[in-house]
Structure 1
Amino acid sequence: MHVVNADIETIFRKVADLLDILNANPFRIRAYRNAAATIAGLSRDVADMVSRNEDLTRLPGIGRDLSKKILEIVETGHLRFLDTLEKNAHASFSELMEIPGLGPRKVKALYDALDIRNIEELEEAAEQGRIALVAGFGKKSQQNILKEIVRRKERSRRITYQAAMFAAEPLLSYLRACDDITQVAIAGSFRRCRETIGDLDLLVTCRRGADAVRHFTRYDGVADILSSGNTRSSVVLHSGLQVDLRVVPQVSWGAALLYFTGSWQHNIALRKLAIGRGLKLNEYGLFREHERIAGKSEKEVYACLDIPFIAPELREDRGEIQAAAKHQLPALVSLDDIRGDLHMHTTRTDGHNSILQMAEAAQSKGYEYIAITDHSRQVRIAHGMDAEALAAHIEDIDAIQRKMPGIAILKGVEVDILRDGTLDLPDEILQQLDIVICAVHYHFDLSLQQQTRRIIKALEHPCTRILAHPTGRLLTRRQPYAVDMQAVMKAARDTGCVLEINSAPKRLDLNDQHCRMAKEMGVKVSIDSDAHSTGDLDFLQNGINQARRGWLEPEDVINTRSLTELKKLLQQEA
């Protein structure tokens, strides 16, 4: 089987949580948590690194012992140490800790008080009102647990785009290595770059007489074959992801790619457009009566419908067909447009690389500038800085800048928005910075009115430049907090503040519809990696995908500007 990074991350997080429940050495617990974070942040496939005999101990936080455990996971798909821990604790404890708000200590408290070992027992106890009686919980906690169990059931089949990508890449390589298969593409929601993926839709063409389905089902990552025919097959990978394969004729390649990429609503709208021209459109081609007039390529099909090519990210039936007909499609932003990255962390707080290493990695990407934005003191788990520590950090950034004249290293901070909307650091230190990013990291449970007022007050602070991950969500794990985004965007526009598209795979926050709203309201955005290691800088492509789904163009994004233009823009907003 092929192990992907998400598998290793999950195993290490389970180990850390179970060690916590078993009251193990805190340093050992932290080592596994840091290793999980390192693996989650890698832009490369760890299994590929193992196959190349690369030294895993060069990764941040990965020593010889953890390197051996990664090797075991890659080779076997399991970790014997985790099996032992699950026997000593309870295997389902890890599942319980997937419920937001239930960390290792609370899971242990529920077990000690109510002998709760799994989700089913948790749900039953909550419905019976027994959880509210456990010390440290209460009725509100009980209600939240029930809500999160419902949400967990709703999202259980979906994974993040990046997790799907890690699962898809080795499968694509396997199929492309087959001489009989001539074309391979992923269609569906993955090609539209949706933030979470339910399954993968694979299309292939092959040489006459080839058995592509048989080759597909022999992939070593396949755990279960759901169906297998001459031109179609469905399998489930060891990761749990379902993959559907369709073999299509070369003459229909473009039509099939078009049909299986677009949302259902987009495809309906296209078919109506075809009918209006006396044509019929399906996955086999575009037809005038019985004559196929297009189908080899998507551009060919679109051209015969008298509209230009529509980027896959836009194919959601949100006005893209009408815009195409009027030749008013946006010139979507791309990674090549990005001049710098304005949100990243270093070893000063919870990052894994130094200022110098982050700057060198960014310079190798051709960036003109970066902003170092480590956490403020409120984020204690990340070793956040007080004013004195930030002052010393500013000096460190200046010292590195003198060594690296080829890239501008802006001095910044990710400062917490406190419950009352004030910022976590005094104005005197914030005024010494080039850029101040504010963010919500605590008190997610405020009412919509309270949360909205809190954030707007922070935007009105004269030092604030960017609002990071504006809705606080974690994909497949935590819902957005209640906030009036229209009111927040109006405040951002009035104050000249910028909203972030956070590119971390589990955030992608702003979402695509909020990106579109920002564009329509005249609010600028910043597409940032929120990198905690040099490898995380590659996350920026995730944010680009999100921006494109939100119809954003280079002019809508502040870090497409040159350093001179960016500084002028930030000064105007001061």
Structure 2
Amino acid sequence: MTDQNKRLATILQDLGSMYRYLGGENLFKAIAYMKASQAIKSLPDDISLYLKEGTVKEIPGVGKSLEKDIREFYSTGSISRFENLKKIVPHGLIELVDVRGFGPKSLKRLYEDLHVESKEDVVKALKDGRITKLKGFGPRKVENMLRGLKLHKQLEERMLLRDALEAGEKLLAPLKTLKEVKRAELAGSLRRRKETIGDLDILAAVKLKDRKKVVKVFTSPKLAQRVLAKGDTRVSILMQENGRQADLRMVDESEWGAAFQYFTGSKDHNIHLRRLARDKGYKISEYGIFTARNHKRLAGKTEEQLYKHLGMQYIPPEMREDKGEIELALKRAIPKLVEIKDIRGDLQMHSDWSDGLQTMEEIVDFVEKNFSYDYIAITDHTKSSRVARGMKDQEFLKQIEEVKVINQKQGRDFLKAGAEVDILADGALDLSDEILSQLDWVVASIHSGFSRNNTDRLIKACENSYVNCIGHPTGRLIGKREAYPVDIAALIEAAVGTGTALEINGQPERLDLKDEWANEAREAGVNLVISTDSHKYNDFYFMSLGVGVARRAWCTADNILNTKPWHDIVKLTSKGNLSVV
């Protein structure tokens, strides 16, 4: 995304949040601006090109009014509508609109009754007790607000995996162009694909005599807004991209493997390795593996060499958390983890029939050009999801017919007719069995009423004859909303008993099921599905994030349903089949 597109998308997103704050009839404007913001983020070229070619209206979600706003932004750097709204909407509170415990109505009350205008004001009002004096802001409400602020603070201090990967690649790119850099890679928790990342760790193989040139590039104003420290082996900066810390460590090429293993971590994994090495008469460090007696260097150029000298099988980075992987490696029993190349299709996405940006035909064309999939499933929202422009029952029948037409044009049964059907408060589904029976793929998800008996609702959905998969099973939004209360063990048992799949949702804010629950589901024999929940073109690349979660859960291709041909998926999710393996 270009810098100009990024600024424009941010303003449009803020406009959407402002209209959400205002509420009422402004909700439709909010949806329009948020949709346009997402579309701008997905553009392959700078917005100026679309303006010059007169194709701005072809951008999904952009009508006459939004086109005028975009032209004004291009001419002046701002949008008058945005500046005017800032005079009546407390812009400092907008970042809390989607935070648990807040929302537009609560924020309005705080602004109008207590005159708070920022997140800092809210924190102060919570501490001094003013908020508890407001009607409707009892202990439970205040507790939810405090928990929401805590989650929000965590995300301020850490990056989502997707954001960290993007920032890391921007730092790596110029380093990899230097002939002095023999190899450069992302290390740390980012390489292990943790869901949130603190500081970035980069490792580069560079000869000592060449390191000053590499340091100059890494600390240039293009990459660094501030240099924290620099030396012959380590450089620390605050990134120009986002103000977060990034550390570059430089090693000799002969030390690459030992250093890459050491700076990948985790800390607990490395402590266990050092203990194992000591018991075998070795010492291990970022420089290599040595004999303890005479400090003779035995290995260090590759990670594989290092693990081999310890009598172990190579351990993939995603498994290195000291949760039994070392014991498995000593037995040479590390599984072959699922890879992105194993994925044969994507089974949750949304078109412009509900809240997606593209038509079904556009989605098919994009996927066929950029992925080697055998099938995809359109799973638009049902009527209860009003904010997501959920479809009425009869619209699904029309969509099924359009899916048939698209497949006829394709000459193959590539596009599957599906739905992401809401699980209602009583566990009933938001589509009749008559329509569900005509769909190829049904994902059932909870989108509202999170305080109700979620476990019973999810189990009841599993028991429905037409539900193939439970979508984002715990409902969390990283940094915004905790997982809703659900008995994971009971859900896993129901999934196994009914042959219902559980989803690993690849959206960066979800990654749900999280790795530890996905691991439990895998061990129980649950069918797992990795989906992107795509709403726009760029979202389809989130499949790699979902695969990362699956690898952290020790999943092989056999554990993942959408690594299989479609006819196998149909067999495995027909009620009565209990597991993938």
**Is the pair's TM-score, using the shorter chain for normalization, greater than 0.5?**
yes
- Equivalent positions of 1:294-313 (< 5 A) are 294-313=299-318
**Which amino acid in structure 1 is aligned with residue 411 of structure 2?**
P
TM-score norm. by structure 2 comes to 0.89
User: Contact 1:440/1:472 (CA < 8 Å) preserved in 2?
Assistant: yes
1:315 aligns with 2:320: yes
Asked if 1:507 corresponds to 2:510, the answer is yes
**For 1:203, what is the secondary structure of its paired residue?**
strand
Structure 1 letter corresponding to 2:231: G
User: Is structure 2 residue 197 aligned with structure 1 residue 194?
Assistant: no
Counterpart position of 2:31:
30
| Matched ranges for 1:15-26 at <5 A | 15-21=15-21
1:327 equivalenced with 2:332 (yes/no): yes
Q: 1:439 to 1:21 in 2, by over 3 A?
A: closer
1:339 aligned to 340, 344, 351, which one? 344
Give the whole-Å Cα distance in 2 for the aligned partners of 1:279 and 1:50. Answer: 60
- 1:199 is aligned with what amino acid? D
Distance change >3 Å, CA 83–CA 504, structure 1 → 2: same
Q: 1:346 to 1:203 in 2, by over 3 A?
A: same
* CA shift in 2, pair 1:171/1:154, >3 Å: closer
Matched, 1:520 2:520: no
Gaps of 5+ in 2: none
The aligned amino acid for 1:486 is A
Mapped partners of 2:70, 2:576: distance in 1: 47
Does structure 1 conserve the Cα–Cα contact (< 8 Å) formed by 2:337 and 2:554? yes
Q: CA offset at residue 520 of structure 1?
A: 0.7
Shift in CA distance, 39/189, structure 1 to aligned 2, threshold 3 Å: farther
Identity %: 37
Secondary structure of 1:204's counterpart equals strand
Q: Secondary structure at the match of 1:414?
A: strand
Asked if the contact 1:2/1:221 (under 8 Å) is kept, the reply is: no
Q: 1:362 aligns with which of 362, 367, 376?
A: 367
The 10-residue stretch of structure 1 (217-226 or 281-290) with the greater mean CA deviation from structure 2: 217-226
Deviation string, structure 1 residues 203-228 (Cα, Å, up to 9, x no partner): 11224422122321114132222222
Task: Output the CA distance in 1 between the equivalents of 2:10 and 2:100.
Answer: 16
Counterpart-to-counterpart distance in 2, 1:508 and 1:171: 25
**Hey, what does 1:141 align to over in structure 2?**
141
Closer, same or farther: CA 61–284 of 1 in aligned 2, 3 Å:
same
- Give the AA of the match of 1:542: L
CA distance in 2, matches of 1:132, 1:508: 34
Say yes or no: does 1:533 pair with 2:536.
Answer: yes
SS at 1:390 equivalent: helix
**Alpha-carbon spacing, 1:257–1:137, altered in 2? closer, same or farther (3 Å):** same
Q: Secondary structure at the match of 1:483?
A: coil
Aligned counterpart in structure 2 of residue 384 of structure 1, from 375, 383, 390: 390
Q: Deviations over 1:411-469 (max 9, x none)?
A: 211111111111112211111112211000001223xxx22112111111222110000
Q: Distance in 2 between matches of 1:396 and 1:277?
A: 66
Q: Deviations over 1:491-514 (max 9, x none)?
A: 100111000011111111011111
Aligned amino acid, residue 429 of structure 1: I
Q: Contact conserved, 1:359 with 1:407, CA < 8 A, in 2? A: no
Please state how far the C-alpha of 1:249 moved relative to its aligned partner.
1.6
Which one-letter code corresponds to 1:156 in the other structure?
E
TM-score by length of 1: 0.90
1:285 and 2:288 matched: yes
> Aligned Cα RMSD in Å?
2.9
Structure 2 counterpart of 1:395, from 398, 401, 411:
401
Do structure 1's residue 248 and structure 2's residue 251 form an aligned pair? yes
Distance (Å, rounded) in 1 between the aligned partners of 2:270 and 2:185: 18
Shift of 1:79: 8.2
Counterpart secondary structure, 2:226: strand
CA contact (8 A) 2:506 2:546 kept: yes
Aligned partner of 1:275: which letter? R
Q: Which residue of 1 aligns with 2:182?
A: 182
Secondary structure (helix, strand or coil) at the match of 1:227 reads: strand
CA deviations over 1:375-416 (Å, ceiling 9, x no partner): 111101111122222222222222222222234222211111
Cα deviation, residue 269, structure 1 = 1.1
Give structure 1 stretches of 5+ with no counterpart.
Answer: none
Q: For this pair of structures, how many residues does the alignment match?
A: 565
Q: 1:311 to 1:68 in 2, by over 3 A?
A: farther
1:429 maps to which of 426, 431, 435: 435
Deviation string, structure 1 residues 328-382 (Cα, Å, up to 9, x no partner): 1111111111111111111110111111122222333221111111111110111
Alpha-carbon distance change, 70 to 178 in structure 1, aligned in 2, over 3 angstroms: farther
The 8 Å contact of residues 60 and 353 in structure 1, kept in 2 or not, is answered as: yes
**CA pair 66-230 structure 1, distance change in 2 beyond 3 A:** farther
